[in-house]
Amino acid sequence: MAGNPRNGRPYRRLVAAVKALGDPCARCGHNIDPGLDPRHPLSFTLDHVVPLSRGGNLLDPANARSMHRRCNSARGNRVGPQPLKTTRRW
């Protein structure tokens, strides 16, 4: 029986490589503090451009990008550009 592929060495290596790039959040554009606790809403998470539930590759570097935990959760498994939420109601 195979374990969780996200606990494997190749996945952890990919996460470390993307985190080392220091790219800003792909959704909101703000910087990501690498020193935050992993449970913090503004901490680093690895986002997949094509979600895994829609056939995206877990270990493909071209399918990986930096994102805040909160932004990644809000994105869900949607594909394509999404409008940013504004604070004003027009």
Name the percent of the chain lying above pLDDT 90: 71
Model pTM above 0.75: yes
Q: What pLDDT does 24 receive?
A: 95
Q: Indicate whether 84 pLDDT > 50.
A: yes
Q: DSSP states of the chain as a string?
A: ----GGGSHHHHHHHHHHHHHTPPPTTT-----TTS-TTSTTSEEEEESS-GGGT--TT-GGGEEEEEHHHHHHHTT--S--PPPPSS--
